[in-house]
Amino acid sequence: MPKRAKLTQGSTLKHVFSMSLTGALGLMSIFLVDLVDMFFLSMLGEKEAVAAVGFASAIIFFTISIGIAVSISATALVSKAIGSGNIDLAKRRAVNVLVYGVFFSSIVVWWLWPKVPHILLYIGATGRTLDLATDYLQILILGMPAVMASMIGAGIMRALGDARRAMYVTLAGGIVNAVLDPILIFGLGLGVQGAAIASLLARFFMVAISYHGVMHIHKMLGTFDLMEFIKDAKGISLIAVPAMLTNMSSPLANAIVMEYTSSFGDDAVAAVAIIGRVIPVVFCGIFALSGAVGPVLGQNYGAVRFDRMHNAISSAVLYAFCYCAVLCVFLYQVQDWLVEVFNASAESAELIRFFSTFVSFSFFFQSLLFIAIAVFNNLGKPFVSTLLNFGRATLGTWPLIAFFALFMDANGILFGQAVGSVIFGCLGFYMARKYIETLEEKEASNIAPSRSNNHDEPL
């Protein structure tokens, strides 16, 4: 087995832990940069500036989701080739996914850029807020191909098992953004435009970091060939398109939750908004789990190591349980501090405490769903991931929060979401286990006839 297939050797628990934690640090840097942006802009004393970035962020989320989806393709396709020992195929797929992503994102920019004011107006931005949001978004959206390239580069490095350098991509971008923000916003007096330019420059810096890792450290970009690109484009799309749809399910669930929450008044809405800001920071290690398990599964699937694939799943569950146990206890201990920091009203404080005490545990079951998504995305059934996520966002959200809200008021909305996570987490995990067993049986049945036809074939 080639030396590069490092995830086919050693402890699967160690691989899952290290790749999840480095992925969590990378995600943390993104969330913290968002907070830094909002902090600096709030210092301008102009509420329209903060609101403008808030409106723009809703659209930026979708563009980043596209980059994440294509990077999932890169991780799945490259890791499988690495695991099978075909380095040339891995290099070919790496360059083709990169070209695919940059071309696709450039088309999105070309289509989206002139429509930015109309989209912002549609989602509610008006007056000066609309003007500032348009300026911010039209600058930032130009960096979408750079985001795509850097995410694909990070995905390729995760496929190789180099989670540390993959983390450097987002970490370095976050640091550059945080340094440039005060210089451009206050030093040059550019305000919202300065924040956008800082983020744009940071994204090009991310490209440089990812290119250095993929090209100079790992030498993993092959020579581009149009015919080979056309041959690979279908396989890339079969993973990327369902992954894009999967990423769109979260805003759908959030919209359903906010619609029901609004019927309980502004205090309930404020509490859900506060919880929504706390969750990505506290549970970023869970959100990174899917991207961590995927390369381990991909390499070992390519190497036909089903024993290690089963071990990887078990290791991911152990990691998720330990992480959630520690963080749920932490949330319980700091719930009064959260109420004080966010200056929550009595009604909002009740919801925050209910989440910290009774609902946070559900993220363990949500982690089971993330593990299942990694299985299906990396082992050839990405549309199953889409169905599971949309199932959780609809059937696992709307009827449950409506039912429990009848008896528990606003607390029922949070509890209904938790029950949905338990149901779809267990269902997805069971389906993922059975799917791996099916692949294993299929592989065994394919090997058996070849052995009977050629008794001298080496194992």
Identity of residue 442: K
Mapped to the 3 state alphabet, what secondary structure does the chain carry? CCCCCHHHCCCHHHHHHHHHHHHHHHHHHHHHHHHHHHHHHHCCCCHHHHHHHHHHHHHHHHHHHHHHHHHHHHHHHHHHHHHCCCHHHHHHHHHHHHHHHHHHHHHHHHHHHHHHHHHHHHCCCCHHHHHHHHHHHHHHHHHHHHHHHHHHHHHHHHHCCCHHHHHHHHHHHHHHHHHHHHHHHHHCCCHHHHHHHHHHHHHHHHHHHHHHHHHHHCCCCCCCCHHHHHHHHHHHHHHHHHHHHHHHHHHHHHHHHHHHHHCCCHHHHHHHHHHHHHHHHHCHHHHCHHHHHHHHHHHHHHCCCHHHHHHHHHHHHHHHHHHHHHHHHHHHHHHHHHHHHCCCCHHHHHHHHHHHHHHCCHHHHHHHHHHHHHHHHHCCCHHHHHHHHHHHHCCCCHHHHHHHHHHHCHHHHHHHHHHHHHHHHHHHHHHHHHHHHHHHHHHHHHHHHHHHHCCCCCC
Query: What pLDDT sits at residue 353?
Result: 93
Query: What pLDDT sits at residue 47?
Result: 63
Spatial contact of 195 and 40, defined as CB atoms under 8 Å apart: yes
- What is d(CA 412, CA 393) in angstroms, rounded to the nearest whole number? 16
Tokens describing residue 200? 């744009």
CA atoms within 13 A on the CB side of 332: 11
C-alpha separations of 112 from 57, 102, 108, 194, 198 in Å: 15, 15, 6, 21, 21
The domain locations on the chain are 9-224, 246-441
Sign of CA dihedral 80, 85, 91, 93: negative
Instruction: Find the angle CA(427)-CA(428)-CA(433) to the nearest 5 degrees.
Output: 100
- What is d(CA 305, CA 311) in angstroms, rounded to the nearest whole number? 10
Tokens describing residue 210? 């990812």
- What is d(CA 371, CA 309) in angstroms, rounded to the nearest whole number? 12
Query: What pLDDT sits at residue 327?
Result: 92
Q: Report mean pLDDT in 10-residue bins for the chain, 459 residues.
A: 62 82 74 67 68 70 78 85 84 91 90 85 74 84 88 87 82 85 83 84 89 86 85 86 78 75 79 78 82 83 86 92 93 89 81 91 92 87 87 87 89 92 94 92 70 45
Q: Which of 276, 321, 291, 280 has the alpha carbon at shortest distance from 413?
A: 276
- What is d(CA 50, CA 155) in angstroms, rounded to the nearest whole number? 32
Spatial contact of 23 and 164, defined as CB atoms under 8 Å apart: no
Tokens describing residue 450? 């070849």
Q: Which of 393, 165, 174, 379 has the alpha carbon at shortest distance from 290?
A: 379
Identity of residue 185: I
Question: Can you state the angle between helices 306-341 and 410-453, rounded to 10 degrees?
Answer: 170
What is the value of pTM for the model shown?
Answer: 0.79
Q: Which residue has the tokens 């976050």?
A: 174
- What is d(CA 129, CA 265) in angstroms, rounded to the nearest whole number? 25
Tokens describing residue 15? 């691989």
Nearest 10 degrees: CA dihedral of 91, 101, 383, 165?
A: 60
